Amino acid sequence: MKRNSLLLTVGLLVAALFVLLQVLFTVREGEAVVVTTFGKPQRALTDAGLYMRWPWPVQRVYRFDNRIHTLEGTFEETLTRDGKNLLAAVYAGWRIKSPLQFLERVGTIEQAERNLDALLRSQKNAVLGQFPFASLINTNPAAVQFEQIEQQMLTAVQASALDRYGIEVQFIGIRKIGLPESITEKVFARMKAEREEIAERYRSEGEGEAIRIRAEADSQRNQLLASAEADAKRIRAEGDAKAAESYQVFEKDPDLAIFLRKLESLEQTMKKKTSVVLATDKPPFDLLDGDKVLPKK
């Protein structure tokens, strides 16, 4: 009897637990839950906690991850405003804003990403078509307009995603920019031509500057040579004048001139320690003879 009572109690507890599991459910943090009644969305829950429902098949619970999802768009060709081809890919961060609408219009996270990718591609092409090629690829960082382009994409995608799918797109960014192979060669050729033009301009400016410097140097050299030549002429003239004065003196007294020449020759000969064995009657050593030091008058 006691055994039967125990089995009955356990059975009742299991049945009660089963019933509770059918009518109670929890909502976790970062989760959105939609409760349907006979397949029709009835209510949406995003606050964590314990809730009640009618058991299946009256009511059913659909759960979605309500944290931010990151989607990387397709890397594909698009056209700029000036008709240039380029490759572009964007990324987006999104979350479920309206769980009821999301369940009705989308149903799953995978389908939401497919729908959002198509929307991103459409708006990416539309927005990039409003900007010139130089706004995306430019050697001048100030000319690149990534922030403005991303903001226009975000504004366009946000309204459509929320209205169509109950999705809130929180951010959009340009993930990658590239050039088709057919365009890359043309771009590089144009960039090379621009650099060659700049280099040629610098070379021309350098040659002009070199000519100016050489002209200034030649002018300064000519001025210095002219000044030096004038000084040399002046010095030669002064020397000639003094020599002329000496020649006048020597003409009046030739013996004095001969004496001075001998004295100069002797001085040069005996400038260093020298041993000379010569007769004193040989000029200019005849000056060493005391009787012949001074010329006779």
pTM of the model as a whole: 0.55
Give the three-state DSSP class for 172: strand
pLDDT tens for each residue of 76-109: 889 999 888 889 999 999 999 999 999 999 989 9
pLDDT tens for each residue of 17-66: 655 666 788 888 889 998 888 888 888 888 888 887 878 788 888 999 98
Six token digits for residue 259? 């004496």
Select the more confidently predicted residue: 79 or 192. 79
Contacts of 87 (CB under 8 A, 6+ apart): 75, 76, 77, 78, 176, 177, 178, 179, 180
High-pLDDT (> 90) share of the chain, %? 27
d(C-alpha 282, C-alpha 293), whole Å: 13
Q: Which of 16-30, 141-155, 183-197: highest mean pLDDT?
A: 141-155
Confidence of residue 195 (pLDDT cuts 50, 70, 90): confident
Average pLDDT over residues 146-175: 93
Picking from 27-41, 147-161, 235-249, 255-269, which range would have the lowest pLDDT averaged per residue?
255-269
pLDDT of residue 127: 94
d(C-alpha 198, C-alpha 194), whole Å: 6
pLDDT of residue 297: 47
Give the three-state DSSP class for 135: helix
Contact 23, 46 (CB under 8 A): no
What distance separates the 2 farthest-apart alpha carbons in the chain? Answer: 182
Which of 42, 177, 26, 160 is CA-nearest to residue 94?
160
pLDDT beyond 90 at 154: yes
pLDDT of residue 221: 86
The chain-wide mean pLDDT, for the chain, equals: 81
Confidence of residue 283 (pLDDT cuts 50, 70, 90): low
Q: Starting at the edge strand that comes first in sequence, how are the strands of the sheet with 59-65 ordered? A: 40-45, 31-37, 59-65
pLDDT beyond 50 at 159: yes
pLDDT of residue 188: 72
228 φ, ψ (degrees, to nearest 5): -65, -40
pLDDT of residue 123: 92
pLDDT tens for each residue of 213-245: 888 888 888 888 888 888 888 888 877 777 666
Q: Would you call the peptide bond into 295 cis, given omega within 30 degrees of 0 as the criterion?
A: no
